[in-house]
Amino acid sequence: MVENRPSPTVEASLTALAVSLRGVTKVYDNGVMALGPLDLAVRKGEFISLLGPSGCGKSTVLRLIAGLSAQSSGTVRMSRHEGPRQPGHGIGFVFQEPTLMPWTSVRENVRLPLRLGGVSKPEGRARADAALASVGLADFADAVPRELSGGMKMRVSLARALVTDPDILLMDEPFAALDEITRFRLNNDLLALWRSLGKTVIFVTHSVFESVYLSQRVVVMTARPGRIQADIRIETVEPRSEEFRTSTAYSDYCRKVSAALAPSYQGQSML
């Protein structure tokens, strides 16, 4: 599942949609309007970031796409997965916390989606080991999660999301709890994985800098109920590298995204 595919020719795959949301709203049981109405289209192979103040419903969008939560109105559509049926219906999910099972080994954690999907043990173990190798943790398959650092746990979580070879990777503020240096490294590794695997990535973050560095499109959301405030394309020389982080183009984009984000938190009391 992690064999190196040819780099996705981004322009060629722009036509097909991976996910589309139409007029989607989410109203909580207590009557609070959390989201929308929201329209969002994500093309196949695209890397987009959802950026917004906390509580704006970014995570809810991911949960709706993953089917972990049901929208109150509107439609959520996904491209049909081509090829054999796979566990998770073509979706990989990375949570804000590593969300690993502490009682079992790293390998078993990564194998879990395959195990639930009825993949045989030898095949599952081989695929889990391959996924671990792709995130640079081949030597830690037999460790238990508590023996790993925060960044390594997040890598395990990423390997688990990739093990089913999903078309779409949903990431919910995955690096928010990590220190900056670890985050930078994981950012680069994630970009490298995205380039080699050609997945569609929807990345939720509350960091302007991270969203600009990683994604091709930054979708800025308003405060609750979350709607789309701005949709900003980030165009730069690909593949991105650390040089982009210190370039003027990067800081220009950061300024632009920050300006788009400003209305959603200005005028709000700190309390």
Partner 1 sequence: MRFVLPIAVFAAGLAAWELVVRIRDVPPYVLPAPSVIFLTLIKDWAVLSQSLAVTLLTTLEGFIAASIGGIALALLFNQSKWVEYTLFPYAVVLQVTPVIAIAPLLLIYLEQQTAVVVCAFIVAFFPVLSNTTLGLNSVDRNLAGLFQLYGASPPQTLRFLKLPAALPYILGGLRIAGGLSLIGAVVAEIAAGTAGAGSGLAYRIAESGYRLNIPRMFAALLLLSLAGIVIYGVLALVSHLVLRRWHESALGKEA
Which residues form the interface with partner 1 (CB under 8 A)? 63, 66-68, 87-89, 91, 93, 95-97, 99, 101-104, 112-113, 115-117, 144-146, 164
Q: Are 64 and 26 in contact (CB under 8 A)?
A: yes
Measured from the CB of residue 93, what is the shortest distance to partner 1 in angstroms? Answer: 6
Nearer to partner 1, 25 or 164 (CB): 164
Q: How many CB atoms lie within 10 A of CB 228?
A: 17
- Which residue, among 160, 126, 240, 231, has the nearest Cα to 194 in the 3D structure? 240
- Which residue, among 76, 62, 90, has the nearest Cα to 167 in the 3D structure? 90
Q: What is the Cα–Cα distance from 107 to 127, expressed in whole angstroms?
A: 10
Nearer to partner 1, 100 or 220 (CB): 100
Measured from the CB of residue 108, what is the shortest distance to partner 1 in angstroms? Answer: 9
Half-sphere exposure of 238 (CA within 13 A, CB side): 16
Measured from the CB of residue 190, what is the shortest distance to partner 1 in angstroms? Answer: 19
* Local structure of residue 13 (DSSP, 8 states): G
Nearer to partner 1, 52 or 92 (CB): 92
Nearer to partner 1, 63 or 227 (CB): 63
Nearer to partner 1, 63 or 199 (CB): 63
Nearer to partner 1, 93 or 250 (CB): 93
Rounded to 5 degrees, what are φ and ψ at 43? -80, 160
Measured from the CB of residue 51, what is the shortest distance to partner 1 in angstroms? Answer: 21
Measured from the CB of residue 99, what is the shortest distance to partner 1 in angstroms? Answer: 4
Q: What is the DSSP string of 187-198?
A: HHHHHHHHHHH-
- Which residue, among 59, 65, 81, has the nearest Cα to 166 in the 3D structure? 81
Residue 160: in which H helix or E strand, if any? Answer: helix 150-162
Q: How far is CA 181 from CA 21, 80, 192, in A?
A: 35, 38, 17
* Local structure of residue 148 (DSSP, 8 states): S
Rg, the chain, Cα only: 18
Measured from the CB of residue 95, what is the shortest distance to partner 1 in angstroms? Answer: 5
Nearer to partner 1, 20 or 99 (CB): 99
Measured from the CB of residue 267, what is the shortest distance to partner 1 in angstroms? Answer: 33
